[in-house]
Structure 1
Amino acid sequence: MKPTSLAILASSAIFLMTWAMPALADVDYHIDINQPAHHLAQVSVSFPQTDSQVLTVNLPVWRTGRYQVLPIADGVRLFNATDSKGKSLPWKRTASGEWQITLTQPTSVKVTYQLHANELGDRLRHIDSSHAFLDASGVFMYSPAFRQQPITVNMQVPKGWKSYSGMDRDGKSHSFKAANYDVLVDSPIETGISQHFSFDADNRQYEVVFWGEGNYDTTQIIADLGKISAQASAIWNGYPFKRYVYMVHATSGARGATEHLNSTVIQLPRFNFREREDYLRFISTASHEFIHTWNVKSYRPQGLVPYDYQSENMTDLLWVAEGSTSYFQNQLLLRAGVMTAKEFFDDLSLRIVLNQHNPGRETQSVAEASLGQWSSTWGDYAVNHSVNIYSEGYLASLALDFSVLTDSKLAHSYRDVHKELYENFKIPMGYTVADVQNILTALTGKDYQSWWQKFVNQPVSLEFNDLLAQAGLVTTYGDKPKIQVDTGMGLSGLYADLVLATVAKNSPAWKAGLTAGDELVAVNGLKVTADGFAKRFNDFSPGDTVKVTVFSNDQLKDVNLVLAEQPKDKLAITAVDNVTAEQKAFFKAWLGIDWPFDTEGKWINADGE
């Protein structure tokens, strides 16, 4: 049938709209790891044809999982842009992570640059003669105009290297593809000389890649990761992935971990795997990052949706994203039988002690700490006036869990809050404070605005024995607790001299006028050394007054320190006397395991045997 004039006009309009929009073609990335010994590579990005007069190209100023602006673009040199005929295009740098390329006619654009990659500790990018770890936020530039376009990544790597990623392969050993840049930026690549293992758990495929020599036991790690990976149903209904990749780095000192869309990277110094305490630290971290696959990567606060890679993403709910993940990590280990109940409560005891010795808990709320994470630093002021979204968020989550259990008469727990967030607020949605409060009300029938004001918007203040008593538990320093002196001074550990890194608020050192940066010289007229610092003060008793000599702003001065006391023994969590059936029921609803004490209050299976 012959088209009408109106139909012809409509077709023309559609054609013009199509011409004005970015072409629906792949963005192609290529990285040539050509000088690995010098941490160098050459990167090229080919963008589809555009008729814009200016093509903006960006490298993120922060990476997902670390909520701080970083000097990422400092690793870029020899930036160049060419058109479809290979002719150089004029460009200018307009921000720390932004380049603007001027175009005079529709054309595809190829961007090339040299990349320096030696930021292993930041888990951002690292290239050496044995491997490359590539987090796209520190490696691959993008254009906002093509952020949602499909992506291919091709790598040229040294002979003998093998490549792994949470992304799907694109037909070749060192090629991957992603739906868009957001998938690429959350799917790091590990390529190099490594050990690779795979296993299945709950109908999902898992891979484990080990880079670096170390004292790790691959058999134990794979077995325990399998146990953890099967525990997701304790919190959520369903999985956001079909395949998941654990990347383990045994390093010369770098440590830390970062969650990604369907993978994680975990780093520890190479000989920090074998001892039980070290191993629990590693496997707890693995659990933490695995949980993030739901909490953060599948649902996250509204302020983080969508990611703005060129600016801070503000939210007062980072404590839920990070602190609640910390709260759940050991619960999965406990349910999986990877961690004993005693080990679980030893960890909780330590968290309580650290909280009670943190002056900042009286000053900053978890909501404020969430908003301040982007500018947070470690130091004397931070220690005395701040809290950590991980540790304080853990305790806020504990308080909220106990409140939900109590208000719902054990019908629901904080796990159900996260189950609802996963069910109803998957990305591209983002949840708000009101959304969380509405879920709490739906689960318990109670309004949680006043609770939120008390425990989230104000500094968290918990009576731990009152709280734990609901689960039949009590904190104790033993029947005959011992005490030792407390000065309130902390050393940096970086110097042979005795420079004070922290002085705890309202401590003896604080009251005496000492401050961070002062250099300790003598106690009662006798020289002290860094290795003898703690032992020297153990020569005295709480209540004693000692003369401390320091250099303060290069001036020698004496101050009198009245020593305080602190417990010498470790805090422990144990069973209350005459535990009731109601307390045992609360314990079971909280952690999902049976009561772990015998009739005499001693741990059952304390050593995991």
Structure 2
Amino acid sequence: MSSPTVFFHVSFVEPQAHYAEITMRIQGLQKPFVDVKMPVWAPGSYLIREYAKNVERFRAYNLSEELIPHEKISKNTWRIYSDDKEIHIRYSIYGFENSVRTNFIDDSHAFLSPVGTFMYVDDCLDYPVHIQIKRPDFWSKISTGLEKSTDLPDTYIAPNFDILFDSPIEIGNQDTWSFDIGGTLHECAMVGGGVYDKQKLTQDITTIVTEENRIWGTNPNTYYLFITHNYQSNNGGLEHLNSTVLATSRLGYSQDATYKSYLSLIAHEYFHLWNVKRLRPKALGPFDYEAENYTTGLWIMEGFTSYYDNLIIRRCSFFDEKEYLQMLALDFNTVYNRPGHEIQSAALASHDTWIKQYRPDENSHNTSISYYNKGAMLAAAIDLKILVETNGQQRLDDVLKTAYQKFYLLENRGFEEHELMELVHQVTNVNVSEIFNAAHTLEELDYNLYFNKVGYEIIDLNANSQSLSMGMKTVNNDTRIIVKNIDRDSAAWKGGLNVDDEILAANGYRMDPTGRTIDYILANSKEGDQVSLIISRDGLIKNLNVQLQYSDKKSFIIQRKETATVEERRLGNIWLSIE
């Protein structure tokens, strides 16, 4: 008897109302009952998103089109009571959220995130899957990394649900073009217009991909798809096994900084083709689509990738030396200007991504950091230490290439963090244990120990500053000055200000809508002075006294060290690909 197979049919009866109609046909599975489930999260985006909330009008039928009894037994599980050889399930999916990880359907196009669209049979993720898509007459194209059927039109095949869930689908009138890079066919699918130059974009993507192929040694795909959603104002990306979904500004291609940011995003998501999608911690595959998949290693997977995205843009000469150093310094400023860096390590940020990273609130900057930024800092330290101790002969590139070959190509498994740390030593004979340990503690590295040896230094321009600060951020809401967040241990924190307080007056002055009242007071006060505030909190008037403190905000820059030796400069030139 052949193994069971699952068929999906996707149609769009009311796309203008943001609906897709799904028929799921299960063949060859005879059991007293069948449980079908909707995933609750999307790999690469670590948050329980409850995709089942968008399911409507669930029904089950037998071959005679007779209704089969069913009940919903959990938030994302439907139990169908039937032992028929073939079961048909029909349901509708609502999709109206603009993001790289959720469904969006309207009369112009449909973007289907498979984890939020297709159900799977419980404990049967290895079933082969066929998906047939019925396009409305006014849509002309389908773009996806799935294999196309040679027998049926607009039909695609996945060997299992893991592949299906990792293959987003774009349906509409997207602008598409293809080009070969090192034997891999690459396709761009542009959605939502834009002022891009196809020839330039093709050339720039080719430059980036060629450099990444060089780092990793081989490209595992024969086809790769870039889906870009062009918005008035949006950005982001999500990696997949042989594709990525990007979001950017449709007018940003003509703006130098925005365009380079888009190229960096491409470099980031393409780097994930190896780092995360194949070279991965043990916890990140095979996936449990019903619950959190915990790992402390996202500082490696996302942090290393965040280090390399801008570094690759520098290697490809899109960034000059100064621009790259500004981008790297931004990671340090982002981490060290969040009081949360004294609360949360990079490893804990990785583990707690499910409850913190994608659920920021008014106090998040006081309690957490991003493993993207902190991981990039740690990756820089590892890269520089290897570069110095091997006299410029090796660097982090060599470790990642070997790790990919060992853990993915040879052993086909995920790794533990200590295994990667040990591999660094095996490949380069360099001990980086202090850096890996720093990822798991609140002890901060002295990063100049690494930068100085390649002729650079990181300095805080605010180190000797005596500027005063309230330690809060405010916004002008229809001329009302509203507190939006407060730094831990700042003057505002100690003085009792709350988020959402409206500041009415300070030291007897009515608040100016531009915030100049506070600026004037800070410019004409000294440390320890009291500021008398009148605030409105939930409609009640209160008086508060805030004692001014010096600002503790950092302003890091990374620059050439004037006293660098010839050897340090040589190593620095290798690091930043300076001829």
TM-score by length of 1: 0.87
**1:403 aligns to what?**
385
Find 2:3's aligned residue among 1, 8, 24. Answer: 24
Preserved CA contact (<8 Å) 2:506 2:517: no
Change (3 A) 1:101 1:476: same
Instruction: Note the alpha carbon deviations across 1:8-28, whole angstroms, 9 max, x for none.
Output: xxxxxxxxxx5xxxx424321
**2:544 aligns to what?**
558
Change (3 A) 1:548 1:283: farther
- RMSD over aligned Cα atoms: 2.6
Instruction: Note the alpha carbon deviations across 1:258-317, whole angstroms, 9 max, x for none.
Output: 111111111124334432222222111111100011111112111112011111001111
* Distance in 2 between residues matched to 1:122 and 1:69, nearest whole Å: 15
> Following TM superposition, by how much is the alpha carbon of 1:520 offset from its aligned partner in structure 2, in angstroms?
2.0
* Distance in 1 between residues matched to 2:481 and 2:228, nearest whole Å: 36
Change (3 A) 1:233 1:538: farther
Find 2:533's aligned residue among 537, 541, 548. Answer: 548
Q: Which SS does the other structure have where 2:216 is aligned?
A: coil
Preserved CA contact (<8 Å) 2:125 2:162: yes
**1:265 aligns to what?**
245
Aligned-partner residue type, residue 230 of structure 2:
A
Find 2:147's aligned residue among 168, 178, 184. Answer: 168
Higher mean C-alpha deviation, range 37-46 or range 149-158: 149-158
Write out aligned runs for 1:222-241 (5 A).
222-241=202-221
Find 1:465's aligned residue among 448, 456, 460. Answer: 448
Instruction: Note the alpha carbon deviations across 1:169-196, whole angstroms, 9 max, x for none.
Output: 2235632212111111111011102211
* Distance in 2 between residues matched to 1:587 and 1:343, nearest whole Å: 15
Change (3 A) 1:252 1:74: farther
* Distance in 2 between residues matched to 1:494 and 1:177, nearest whole Å: 52
Instruction: Note the alpha carbon deviations across 1:364-400, whole angstroms, 9 max, x for none.
Output: 1111111100111312332112111111111121222
1:341 aligns with 2:321: yes
* Distance in 2 between residues matched to 1:405 and 1:439, nearest whole Å: 16
Instruction: Note the alpha carbon deviations across 1:394-441, whole angstroms, 9 max, x for none.
Output: 112122222333444443322222212211122851111221122022
* Distance in 1 between residues matched to 2:198 and 2:324, nearest whole Å: 23
Preserved CA contact (<8 Å) 1:485 1:538: no
> Following TM superposition, by how much is the alpha carbon of 1:213 offset from its aligned partner in structure 2, in angstroms?
2.4
Higher mean C-alpha deviation, range 72-81 or range 252-261: 252-261
1:183 aligns with 2:163: yes
**1:514 aligns to what?**
497
Change (3 A) 1:94 1:273: farther
* Distance in 1 between residues matched to 2:395 and 2:172, nearest whole Å: 44
**2:52 aligns to what?**
73
Change (3 A) 1:167 1:293: same
Instruction: Note the alpha carbon deviations across 1:540-560, whole angstroms, 9 max, x for none.
Output: 336353333323453422222
Change (3 A) 1:124 1:567: closer
Aligned-partner residue type, residue 590 of structure 1:
W
Preserved CA contact (<8 Å) 2:18 2:95: yes
Aligned-partner residue type, residue 174 of structure 1:
D
> Following TM superposition, by how much is the alpha carbon of 1:479 offset from its aligned partner in structure 2, in angstroms?
12
Write out aligned runs for 1:52-131 (5 A).
52-103=31-82, 105-121=83-99, 123-131=101-109
**2:560 aligns to what?**
575
Instruction: Note the alpha carbon deviations across 1:584-608, whole angstroms, 9 max, x for none.
Output: 23224434x126xxxxxxxxxxxxx
Find 1:143's aligned residue among 121, 138, 154. Answer: 121
**1:251 aligns to what?**
231
* Distance in 2 between residues matched to 1:157 and 1:494, nearest whole Å: 45
Aligned-partner residue type, residue 29 of structure 1:
F
Aligned-partner residue type, residue 395 of structure 1:
M
Preserved CA contact (<8 Å) 1:49 1:109: no
Higher mean C-alpha deviation, range 156-165 or range 541-550: 541-550
Preserved CA contact (<8 Å) 2:466 2:550: no
* Distance in 2 between residues matched to 1:492 and 1:396, nearest whole Å: 34
* Distance in 1 between residues matched to 2:368 and 2:404, nearest whole Å: 30
Unaligned ranges ≥5, structure 2: none
Preserved CA contact (<8 Å) 2:41 2:48: yes
> Following TM superposition, by how much is the alpha carbon of 1:535 offset from its aligned partner in structure 2, in angstroms?
7.2
1:433 aligns with 2:413: no
1:422 aligns with 2:408: no
1:326 aligns with 2:309: no
> Following TM superposition, by how much is the alpha carbon of 1:503 offset from its aligned partner in structure 2, in angstroms?
0.8
Change (3 A) 1:227 1:45: same
* Distance in 2 between residues matched to 1:559 and 1:186, nearest whole Å: 55
* Distance in 2 between residues matched to 1:98 and 1:281, nearest whole Å: 41
> Following TM superposition, by how much is the alpha carbon of 1:354 offset from its aligned partner in structure 2, in angstroms?
2.0
* Distance in 1 between residues matched to 2:382 and 2:483, nearest whole Å: 37
Q: Which SS does the other structure have where 1:560 is aligned?
A: strand
Preserved CA contact (<8 Å) 1:120 1:254: no
* Distance in 2 between residues matched to 1:494 and 1:316, nearest whole Å: 40
Instruction: Note the alpha carbon deviations across 1:460-506, whole angstroms, 9 max, x for none.
Output: 51334343212211245779998754321123677763332211112
* Distance in 1 between residues matched to 2:304 and 2:87, nearest whole Å: 44
Change (3 A) 1:215 1:181: same
1:383 aligns with 2:361: no
Preserved CA contact (<8 Å) 1:132 1:190: yes
Q: Which SS does the other structure have where 2:12 is aligned?
A: strand
Change (3 A) 1:408 1:271: same
Higher mean C-alpha deviation, range 144-153 or range 487-496: 487-496
> Following TM superposition, by how much is the alpha carbon of 1:110 offset from its aligned partner in structure 2, in angstroms?
1.4
Change (3 A) 1:480 1:557: closer
Higher mean C-alpha deviation, range 466-475 or range 156-165: 466-475
Aligned-partner residue type, residue 397 of structure 1:
A
**1:242 aligns to what?**
222
Higher mean C-alpha deviation, range 183-192 or range 401-410: 401-410
Preserved CA contact (<8 Å) 1:79 1:113: yes
Higher mean C-alpha deviation, range 552-561 or range 127-136: 552-561
**1:490 aligns to what?**
473
1:212 aligns with 2:195: no
Q: Which SS does the other structure have where 1:312 is aligned?
A: coil
> Following TM superposition, by how much is the alpha carbon of 1:576 offset from its aligned partner in structure 2, in angstroms?
1.4
* Distance in 2 between residues matched to 1:319 and 1:129, nearest whole Å: 40
Preserved CA contact (<8 Å) 2:100 2:238: no
Change (3 A) 1:483 1:340: farther
* Distance in 2 between residues matched to 1:49 and 1:123, nearest whole Å: 32
Aligned-partner residue type, residue 484 of structure 2:
A
Aligned-partner residue type, residue 427 of structure 2:
L
**2:436 aligns to what?**
452
Change (3 A) 1:514 1:590: same
Q: Which SS does the other structure have where 1:520 is aligned?
A: strand
Higher mean C-alpha deviation, range 470-479 or range 390-399: 470-479
Unaligned ranges ≥5, structure 1: 1-17, 596-609
* Distance in 2 between residues matched to 1:346 and 1:423, nearest whole Å: 33
Higher mean C-alpha deviation, range 461-470 or range 189-198: 461-470
> Following TM superposition, by how much is the alpha carbon of 1:561 offset from its aligned partner in structure 2, in angstroms?
3.7
